[in-house]
Amino acid sequence: MSTQESAIRVGVIGAGSFASRRHCPDIIAHPKAQLTALCRRNDIELQKMAGAFAVEHTYTDHSQLLTSRLVDAVLVSSPHNLHYEHTKAALENGLHVLLEKPLCLDSRDARRLVELASSRNLRLLVAHNPPYWRHCRHLREQFQGGRLGNLEAASLTAVGNFLGVLAREPLPDKIPGVVAPTLYRGDPLQNGGGYLMDGGPHLLCELLWCTGRHVAEVSAQVDDAAFELRYVLTLRMDNGALVTVSQVANSNSRSKRQHNVYFGSKGTATVRGFPFTVEYDVEGQAAERLEEDELPAAPTPIDDLVKCVLQRGSPESDIELAVHIVDVIQAAQEAIRSRGVITLSHRRD
């Protein structure tokens, strides 16, 4: 298909539980997207996915999908350690790529992918949550417009129980999605470590995308260096602000709780979830509290992909941010091993 035509044909590599709950329904619902091919290694589960979404063309080998001439773009939702291989192969075959976080496990590989996409004039997007969440888009607007002033400090905390998908306990009998999730996240080689690599990108994306800041230094503490289920990062930002980012993946409570506070030179913003609300306490203004469904609708990652490919629009989040997130997590993992403070500028040299 030429990008001048009416619809973009999308294939999915890693056609599993998450893709069935989020991206595949969005592709089906989009007037300018077609779900034309699916790939995963387990053929029984693959055929369940194909039946659920009425997809004729299925593959257990990603290279066959990439050379099928049935797709213009691919969604990569495979285990984290395969993101680089699958994305690189897709770009080399002239295909645009939308992939689940993280971009990959090594920031050097991440930069290679960005360079490859640029050299082929292809679009490369990562589906971090914040650019597609209403409250995060509103928060970003407040920082960009100067309402909160300059970031001086922040604290981001998310607490939940994800032991099932981390292969630390049996999955519930009933779980959303066409197929059950695979348990690759329980393997530090496939996952890229413990929960930091799985849950950390979304919190880091919120911090960086909403505030427009970058991380300069990282230190970290964890419950278990071999496979962390609890971690806290201390970040020094490029403007000197100090920030903590922490997560708990083995809470005794089964509810998902999130509490993020941003202290600006003019006011404070507080994000609470789930469900999400955002509150503003700004000097000289009445306090404001907004619920997610009160805010303007946000695009989906598939909306973003279609816009970028068919209209040559700009992505909601620059790909360099995805690279920086990988760099921050790698620095944090290095800090865990060394029990020291890691300066990111030194890592780039």
Average pLDDT over the chain reads 95
**What is residue 2's predicted lDDT score, i.e. its pLDDT?**
42
**What is residue 311's predicted lDDT score, i.e. its pLDDT?**
85
**What is residue 348's predicted lDDT score, i.e. its pLDDT?**
47
Sorting pLDDT into bands at 50, 70 and 90, what band is 327?
very high
On whether the CB atoms of residues 235 and 331 are closer than 8 A, the answer is no
Helix (H) / strand (E) element for 13: namely strand 8-13
On whether the CB atoms of residues 229 and 195 are closer than 8 A, the answer is yes
Burial 288-322 (b: 16+ CB within 10 A, else e): eebebeebeebebbbbbbbbbbbeeeebbbebebb
How far apart are alpha carbons 83 and 293 in whole angstroms?
Answer: 33
- Reported as a single tens digit per residue, the pLDDT across 126-148 is 999 999 999 999 999 999 999 99
Indicate if the pLDDT at residue 168 is higher than 50.
Answer: yes
**What is residue 345's predicted lDDT score, i.e. its pLDDT?**
72
Sorting pLDDT into bands at 50, 70 and 90, what band is 5?
low
Indicate if the pLDDT at residue 308 is higher than 50.
Answer: yes
Indicate if the pLDDT at residue 66 is higher than 80.
Answer: yes
- Which of 1-10, 39-48, 87-96, 334-343 is predicted with the least confidence, judged by mean pLDDT? 1-10
- Reported as a single tens digit per residue, the pLDDT across 197-207 is 999 999 999 99
Please state, as a whole number, how many other Cβ atoms lie within 10 Å of the Cβ of residue 79: 17
Mean pLDDT within 233-253: 98
Sorting pLDDT into bands at 50, 70 and 90, what band is 173?
confident
Mean pLDDT within 259-284: 97
- Which of 95-99, 173-177, 317-321 is predicted with the least confidence, judged by mean pLDDT? 173-177
Sorting pLDDT into bands at 50, 70 and 90, what band is 175?
confident
3-class state of residue 98 by DSSP: strand
Higher pLDDT: 55 or 345? It is 55
Mean pLDDT within 150-172: 96
Report the amino acid identity of residue 258. Answer: Q
Percent of the chain with pLDDT over 70: 97
On whether the CB atoms of residues 102 and 322 are closer than 8 A, the answer is yes
Q: Which residues lie closer than 8 Å to 234 by C-beta, 6 or more apart? A: 218, 219, 220, 242, 243, 244
Q: Which two tokens stand for residue 261?
A: 């506070």
Percent of the chain with pLDDT over 90: 94
3-state secondary structure 103-127: CCCCHHHHHHHHHHHHHCCCCEEEC
Find out whether the peptide bond into 201 is cis, omega within 30 degrees of 0: no
3-state secondary structure 212-263: CCCEEEEEEEECCCCCCCEEEEEEEECCCCEEEEEEECECCCCCCEEEEEEE
**What is residue 3's predicted lDDT score, i.e. its pLDDT?**
43
Is the sign of the CA dihedral 207, 331, 81, 186 positive or negative? negative
**What is residue 1's predicted lDDT score, i.e. its pLDDT?**
47
**What is residue 47's predicted lDDT score, i.e. its pLDDT?**
97
Sorting pLDDT into bands at 50, 70 and 90, what band is 65?
very high
Q: Rounded to two decimals, what is the model's pTM?
A: 0.95
> CA torsion angle for 17, 81, 237, 336 (degrees, to 10)?
110
**What is residue 326's predicted lDDT score, i.e. its pLDDT?**
98
